[in-house]
Amino acid sequence: MAPRVSLICPMYNEQENVQVFLSSITAILESCQVTYEIICVNDGSDNTLERLLEQKPAYPALRILNLSRNFGKESALSAGLSVARGDAIIPIDADLQDPPEVIGRLIAEWEKGFDVVLARRVDRSSDHPAKRVSASLFYKLHNLISKQKIPENVGDFRLISRRVANEIVRLPENQRFLKGLFSWVGFKSTTIDYERAKRHAGTSTFNAWSLWNFALDGLTSFSTAPLRLWLYLGIFFSMMSFLMGCYIVFIALFKGIAVEGYASLIIVVLFFGGIQLTSIGVLGEYIGRIYLESKGRPSFIVEDEY
Ligand code: UDP
Ligand code: MG
Among 8, 12, 179, name the best residue to mutate to test ligand 1's pocket (greatest count of ligand atoms within 8 A of Cβ). Answer: 12
**In terms of Cα–Cα distance, which of 49, 94, 71 is closest to 175?**
71
The 10s digit of each residue's pLDDT in 231-285 is 888 888 888 888 888 888 888 888 876 666 777 788 788 888 888 888 888 888 8
Neighbours of 77 (CB within 10 A): 25
> How many angstroms does the Cα of residue 131 sit away from the middle of ligand 1?
15
Q: Which ligand is nearest to the CA of 157?
A: 1
- CA-nearest residue, atom 18 of ligand 1: 204
Question: Residues with Cβ within 6 A of ligand 1?
Answer: 10-12, 14, 43, 70, 72-73, 76, 93-95, 97, 199, 204-206
CATH number of 5-210: 3.90.550.10
- Say what the pTM is: 0.80
The 10s digit of each residue's pLDDT in 93-146 is 998 888 899 999 999 999 999 999 999 988 777 777 888 888 888 888 888 888
The 10s digit of each residue's pLDDT in 68-79 is 999 999 999 999
- CA-nearest residue, atom 21 of ligand 1: 204
> How many angstroms does the Cα of residue 95 sit away from the middle of ligand 2?
6
